[in-house]
Amino acid sequence: MIIRLFALIDFARHLNYNFSPMLISLKTYVITAVLVIMAGFRSACAADTGPSILSELTRSGVVAQSGAVKSGSLLHELTTSVAAETVEGQVLAEDVTENGELFALDELTGKQEDVAGLEMPEDELPLSDIPLTLNSKVEYFIYTFQTRARTSFARWLSRSSRYVPLMKEILRREGMPEDLVYVAMIESGFQLNARSWASAVGPWQFMSATGRRYALRIDQWIDERKDPVKATTAAALYLKELHGMFNGDWYLAAAGYNAGENKIIKAMNKYSSADFWQISEGSYLKRETKEYVPKLLAAAIIAKDPARYGFSDIAYLPPVEFETVRIASQTDLELVAKLAGTTYEAIQGLNPELRHWCTPPDYPGYELKLPKGTKRLFEEGYANIPPEKRFTEKPFYTRYTARKRDTLTSVARRFQISPQVLAEINGIGRKSRIVGKTLIVPALKNKAIAAKAPVPAATKTSHHRQTRYYKVKKGDTIYSLSRQFKVPARLLLAWNNLKGKFVLRPGRSLIVARGEQKSGKTAVPRS
């Protein structure tokens, strides 16, 4: 019962940081009471020839001659657990690495593990272009990544070598700290096809609305949230905007990336504070957001020196390498693979944003990624293929769950297909019962046309938030851009978080307009 009480205390302390001191005191009180009771029991039963519980705890070999509690004893587990937690409410590295564990690893992983080599960072943290902080919350996730989440974190590290160099280059090009790459690490573990329960997609986990806000195309043919280049560029722009919105505070910007900027602004107003650690003590923010920043910091600390924290045997994947070509018209990926001298799977793997067997329609100049060293071979062959032979039309299919009273014949009639063909597609008999079953059916023509049609541009009467970006060209200055886009220079500086001496590097994306779009024009605020 006592052990269960301790477990509940630990769990409650993890859920709500505000109660940590009170819970620690309660835990200490419980342990003290238990020891007092056991001591009284031993005194009352002194004539008993059988060993008491307290004597079992303190018998020879458990307590050393120096008076120190022997590691591994029950008394040691009780006392060191409290000692480790009562020093300013933090878990000390020395207590973990020298005296014992805070909790049993078999409760975390289902098996015993050797944690003698686990290490916590000292006061000196690794160099980073984002501020790193060490506190009990960050230490908790460092320990978690070393133990119960070790397998997952090892996979993240393994994939990191594949995409981190590319992502850092893009972040650097956009004037963003390179170590923001660890946002993608905790968002997706660098999985390009990752999808969350909330339908966030890609390595940076964009929701569809946010993705479109930063010029990512998302439709039946393509989902650029999965494109490591375009998605990283969009994430850099979003983080740049958040950083400026929260006056240069990267912790608030990261929290805004997770929960949305409005949620963080409301939390700041509610608690009258612009300090992330302070607003995370309250109950307004969800647990996921409270843990987001310490998780990010823990991941960055470990990833910068994996061997120090027990990740010395990682099988790192080779960095992704590719060349890009512009596709003049819709083209089959099978044809691309043949012309480039590679496989369909290789082309598909480099272009996970493509949802079908071909490049998207109505997308002239689409940039397709090819294995490095194949660009010239592809271009020579592609130029000799007529546009009408580059693409093969294929029917679209969808899924339909048969309802009550549905029959194979009625469903076939509804989707304008013969019952025999429908049965063959689904591998069932003509007389099979289909109620409740999910069938593959051809997409209705009107739906297929709608999916193929390009997304219409905003009408003149539309009213929505608009952020416009401009890619810097050689010779551009803040003054010239201010005149070109009729925006005060100080607004350009504020929107793009530009301070002190700087040089506008060609290729960098700048925010040049923000505000309400009305009648096809963006109304720029004057303040």
How far is residue 41's CA from residue 56's CA, in Å, rounded to a whole number? 13
One domain, residues 278 and 372: no
Give the single-character DSSP code of 193: T
Tokens read off for 190 = 């660098």
One domain, residues 226 and 169: yes
**How wide is the angle at C-alpha 30 spanned by C-alphas 25 and 32, nearest 5°?**
95
One domain, residues 158 and 263: yes
Give the residue from 309, 330, 360 where a domain finishes: 309
**Cα 325 from chain centre:** 29
Let me know if residue 112 belongs to a domain.
no
How far is residue 518's CA from residue 464's CA, in Å, rounded to a whole number? 8
Listed as ranges, residues in the chain with pLDDT below 70 are 1-123, 444-466, 499-502, 514-527
**Count of domains observed in the chain:** 5
**What is the per-residue pLDDT for 42?**
44
Element (H, E) at 81: helix 74-85
One domain, residues 190 and 284: yes
Give the residue from 103, 133, 159 where a domain finishes: 103
Strand extents, DSSP E, 295-432: 322-327, 366-371, 397-401
Alpha-helix runs per DSSP H in 119-174: 136-146, 150-173
**What is the per-residue pLDDT for 102?**
31
One domain, residues 286 and 416: no
One domain, residues 470 and 410: no
Residue 420, classed as helix, strand or coil, is helix
Give the residue from 389, 407, 426 where a domain finishes: 389
**What is the per-residue pLDDT for 430?**
85
Let me know if residue 494 belongs to a domain.
yes
One domain, residues 270 and 187: yes
**What is the per-residue pLDDT for 499?**
67
Instruction: Supply the Cα-derived Rg of the chain in whole angstroms.
Output: 30
**What is the per-residue pLDDT for 286?**
96
How far is residue 228's CA from residue 242's CA, in Å, rounded to a whole number? 21
**What is the per-residue pLDDT for 164?**
98
- Structure confidence by residue, pLDDT tens digits, 430-455: 888 899 999 998 886 544 444 444 44
- The values of phi and psi at residue 103, to 5°, are -150, 160
List the CATH number of the domain containing 253.
1.10.530.10
Residue 404, classed as helix, strand or coil, is coil
One domain, residues 436 and 345: no
Residue 511, classed as helix, strand or coil, is strand
pTM over 0.85: no
**What is the per-residue pLDDT for 123?**
61
One domain, residues 350 and 302: no
CA dihedral of 416, 420, 423, 427, whole degrees rounded to 10? -140
One domain, residues 239 and 354: no
Let me know if residue 186 belongs to a domain.
yes
List the CATH number of the domain containing 423.
3.10.350.10
Let me know if residue 126 belongs to a domain.
no
Let me know if residue 118 belongs to a domain.
no
Residue 325, classed as helix, strand or coil, is strand
**How wide is the angle at C-alpha 356 spanned by C-alphas 355 and 361, nearest 5°?**
95
**What is the per-residue pLDDT for 444?**
67
Tokens read off for 365 = 């100049």
One domain, residues 161 and 298: yes
Listed in sequence order, the residues at least 6 apart from 227 whose beta carbon sits closer than 8 Å to its beta carbon are 202, 216, 351, 352, 353
Let me know if residue 448 belongs to a domain.
no
**What is the per-residue pLDDT for 478?**
82
Residue 261, classed as helix, strand or coil, is helix
Q: Which domain holds residue 55?
A: 2-103
**What is the per-residue pLDDT for 64?**
35
Let me know if residue 451 belongs to a domain.
no
Residue 208 near residue 218 (C-beta atoms within 8 A): yes
Let me know if residue 476 belongs to a domain.
yes
One domain, residues 286 and 333: no
User: What is the dihedral sign for C-alpha 162, 165, 168, 173?
Assistant: negative
Residue 319 near residue 162 (C-beta atoms within 8 A): yes
**What is the per-residue pLDDT for 410?**
92
How far is residue 465's CA from residue 514's CA, in Å, rounded to a whole number? 8
Please state the three-class secondary structure of 84-130 as a single string.
Answer: HHCECCECCHHHHHHHCCCCCHHHHHCCCCCCCCCCCCCCCCCCCCC
